[in-house]
């Protein structure tokens, strides 16, 4: 009897929530847990409106761009504007799907770090593959240490091996919570707020205007913000 109930549940579940087995899959690369599920859900809805099923391939941030640019992925989840200058096979979808705060983290409340220039003369760590951070660091830094994860960068800070860590607010807060460390200070205001855009490999260039139209509609309706707030 129990087995019958399970079968009936599955049967009616498929009627209520049908799976489109004919939908073409789009494989998108994305840095491991960089933005969370918000922008993934935005893109999943946008692609579904065009008849595609989004499949995420989560890889480290630096490798993600290589995979997407090579065409082994159909697109890149999200990056800053204009990375096509470095990765010419990727085409920017010109509607932001997310935004991030880049913040400086140190162990001293008395440090006045409000701009990129305020990092001058200090040793800084940041996550490998974070091009927006790399591009904005002043040339007058004492030392730069790239780290594989936000947690590793913050470990260097806790050990006194660097003066400052630069990361997204979301990643910094989550890493500090995981570390159960209250000795770090996230400086305000953020160094910069940055829009994040989806990129499509050139083999799928025909999708770009279609995606832009769907995303603009979602943006106008407030749907993108609503999805991000839910995550």
Residue 78 has pLDDT above 60, yes or no: yes
Q: What value does the mean pLDDT of the chain take?
A: 89
Same domain for 111 and 90, yes or no, is no
Q: First and final CA of the chain: distance in angstroms?
A: 39
| Percentage of the chain modeled with pLDDT above 90 | 76
Q: How many domains does the chain have?
A: 2
Residue 46 DSSP symbol: H
Same domain for 73 and 140, yes or no, is no
Same domain for 57 and 128, yes or no, is no
What's residue 6's pLDDT?
37
- Tell me the per-residue pLDDT of 160-185, one tens digit each, with 9 for 90 and over: 999 999 999 989 999 999 999 999 99
> Domain range spanning residue 164?
99-192
C-alpha closest to that of 130 among 111, 149, 156: 149
- Tell me the per-residue pLDDT of 29-47, one tens digit each, with 9 for 90 and over: 997 566 778 999 999 999 9
E strands in the chain: 24-31, 52-59, 75-79, 90-92, 98-106, 123-127, 143-147, 164-168, 185-186, 192-201
Residue whose entry in the numeric block shows the structure tokens 């570390």: 179
| Percentage of the chain modeled with pLDDT above 70 | 89
Token pair of 4, please?
Answer: 């019958």
For residue 7, name the pLDDT band (cuts at 50, 70, 90). very low
Residue 28 is assigned to a structural domain of this protein:
yes
pTM: 0.73
Residue 167 is assigned to a structural domain of this protein:
yes
Token pair of 155, please?
Answer: 């470990």
Separation between Cα atoms, residue 172 and residue 186, nearest integer Å:
8
Residue 177 is assigned to a structural domain of this protein:
yes
Pick from 16-30, 41-55, 114-128: least confident: 16-30
Residue 115 is assigned to a structural domain of this protein:
yes
Identify the helix (H) or strand (E) that includes residue 171: helix 169-179
Residue 69 has pLDDT above 60, yes or no: yes
Strand partners, 193: 101
Token pair of 69, please?
Answer: 């640019």
Strand partners, 125: 145, 165
- Read off the pLDDT of each residue in 111-134 and give the average, rounded to a whole number: 93
Residue 43 is assigned to a structural domain of this protein:
yes
Residue 6 is assigned to a structural domain of this protein:
no
Same domain for 165 and 212, yes or no, is no
Same domain for 123 and 153, yes or no, is yes
Q: What is the CATH number of the domain that holds 82?
A: 3.40.190.10
C-alpha closest to that of 41 among 98, 105, 121, 119: 98
CB 121 within 8 A of CB 133: no
Strand partners, 56: 28
Same domain for 77 and 105, yes or no, is no
Residue 17 is assigned to a structural domain of this protein:
no
Same domain for 59 and 110, yes or no, is no
For residue 60, name the pLDDT band (cuts at 50, 70, 90). confident
Same domain for 209 and 129, yes or no, is no
- Read off the pLDDT of each residue in 69-92 and give the average, rounded to a whole number: 95
Same domain for 135 and 105, yes or no, is yes
């Amino acid at each position: 009897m129990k087995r019958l109930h399970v079968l009936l549940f599955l049967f009616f579940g498929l009627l209520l929530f049908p799976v489109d087995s004919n939908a073409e899959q789009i494989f998108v690369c994305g840095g491991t847990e960089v933005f969370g599920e918000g922008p993934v859900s935005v893109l999943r809805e946008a692609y579904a409106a065009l008849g595609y099923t989004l499949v995420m391939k989560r890889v480290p941030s630096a490798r993600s761009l290589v995979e997407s640019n090579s065409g082994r992925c159909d697109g890149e989840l999200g990056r800053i504007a204009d990375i096509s200058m470095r990765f010419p096979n990727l085409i920017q979808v010109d509607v932001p799907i997310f935004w991030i705060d880049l913040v400086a983290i140190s162990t001293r409340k008395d440090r006045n770090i409000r701009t990129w220039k305020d990092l001058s003369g200090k040793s800084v760590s940041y996550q490998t593959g974070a091009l927006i951070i790399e591009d904005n660091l002043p040339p007058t830094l004492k030392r730069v240490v790239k780290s594989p994860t936000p947690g590793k960068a913050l470990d260097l800070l806790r050990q006194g091996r660097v003066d400052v860590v630069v990361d997204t607010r979301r990643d910094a807060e989550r890493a500090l919570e995981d570390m159960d460390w209250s000795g770090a200070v996230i400086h305000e205001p953020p160094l910069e707020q940055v829009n994040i855009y989806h990129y499509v490999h050139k083999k799928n260039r025909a999708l770009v205007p279609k995606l832009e139209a769907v995303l603009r509609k979602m943006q106008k309706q407030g749907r993108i913000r609503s999805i991000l707030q839910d995550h």
